[in-house]
Amino acid sequence: MSTTSDLAVQVVEATPTQPWHKPRSEQRRDALVYLALAVVAYAIVMISGVAGPDGFALVFFVEVLLLTILRSRNIGKAKSTNAIVSTVIGAGAVVAFVPWMSIFVSLVTKGFHGLYVGYLFGDMRVTTPDDELNMGGVGHAIIGSMLMVLIATAITLPLGILSGVYLTEVRGRLTKVVRFVIQSMSGVPSIVAGLFIYTTVVTLTESFSGFAGALALSVLMLPTVARTSEEVLKLVPEDLRAASYALGARQWRSSLMVVLPTVRSGLTTAAILGVARVVGETAPLLLTALSNNAFKFNPFNGPIASMPMYVFGLLQIGTEYSIARAWSGSLVLMLIVLALFVAARRLGGKDKR
């Protein structure tokens, strides 16, 4: 609006401040205090029997807690409880976050040096457990995982979307039951899914195969896809459905031509999250797809490798280089999961207007 300048008679200078935040100087002082505490904690770890990063963390925590208690002596009971509990909650949160942060870090530090240019494109046909890390690769496992995940997606995406459509569009009598079953199904242990496919598909076809593995993964993937589809479809404004009905649309036309196209990218997100959920599953493949060492493009013909089974197999072998390869394979797998997540997030933001 250009009119504001006309209305303004005089310009008043003002600097935005946030007086409810601690002033800079105080923040700086606090940082110094914590640094000092860390140094003291380090010294204690060095000279006493307490050892390791866990020991350091414990000593540091005790110091901070003591400091908090000391500082809050004269501020009243409610405030001092608040300060102490806040410290404890902060520490608890750190402990809760450390393990998976540590996993990310370990994957990078331990997996990084096994990566070389040919790693992504090679297989393990002629690589022995004691060969150095410039041989062999994970390519066959990537292909195997891709084949299985593609088949699983082809099966679960339509079924998952239908479930979502049932819960949000059709809203039939079984809505509550279906929602409940989908939730419960997401808790089926992955090994049980593997056993189920083993007793049915593998026994019937008398062969382990990528297809059987894909079916086992589908059992685990379906609840994720169905739930995400439902969440996404719920975001479609009721107004759009009303508008299409007001135009004389039948329900099926409204669903197929208005509702589903509106959440196209959201449904892609559902598929991606489903893939991210199952791409690292080991247990079901242990009973259905097993593994192999060479490139294979036929998912219907005998055992086939996959990323998690590749890692799992190398861990079983247990030689120094095998374990290093297992870490590298894990790093690649984690990067794939990460990429899927970033993709899902990018797409997920698209539908929101």
Q: Quote the least distance from Cβ 253 to other proteins, whole Å.
A: 5
d(CA 275, CA 331): 17
| Contact status: 152 vs other proteins (CB under 8 A) | no
Binding segment toward other proteins, per CB under 8 A, in 1-9, 143-151, 283-291, 292-300: 283-291
Binding mask 56-75 for other proteins (x = CB under 8 A): --------------------
Selected from 32, 36, 51, 108, the binder of other proteins by CB under 8 A is 51
| Contact status: 252 vs other proteins (CB under 8 A) | yes
Residues between 98 and 137 with contacts to other proteins, criterion CB under 8 A: 99-100, 102-103, 106-107, 110
Q: Supply the DSSP symbol for 255.
A: I
Question: What does residue 279 show for φ and ψ, rounded to 5 degrees?
Answer: -65, -25
Residues between 211 and 250 with contacts to other proteins, criterion CB under 8 A: 219, 222-223, 226, 237, 239-240, 242-250
Residues between 319 and 338 with contacts to other proteins, criterion CB under 8 A: 323, 326-327, 330, 333-334, 337-338
Q: How many residues bind other proteins (CB under 8 A)?
A: 109
Residues between 188 and 207 with contacts to other proteins, criterion CB under 8 A: 188-193, 195-196, 199-200
Query: Between residues 23 and 118, which has the closer beta carbon with respect to other proteins?
Result: 23
Query: Of 184, 211, 186, which is closest to residue 198 (Cα–Cα)?
Result: 211
d(CA 288, CA 194): 6
Burial class (CB in 10 A: 0-12, 13-18, 19+), 73: exposed
Q: Quote the least distance from Cβ 222 to other proteins, whole Å.
A: 6
Residue pair 201/211 in contact (Cβ under 8 Å)? The answer is yes
| Contact status: 181 vs other proteins (CB under 8 A) | yes
d(CA 252, CA 244): 11
Question: What does residue 225 show for φ and ψ, rounded to 5 degrees?
Answer: -65, -45
Query: Of 157, 158, 120, which is closest to residue 140 (Cα–Cα)?
Result: 120
* Six-digit token string for 50: 């307490």
| Contact status: 90 vs other proteins (CB under 8 A) | yes
Query: Between residues 122 and 284, which has the closer beta carbon with respect to other proteins?
Result: 284
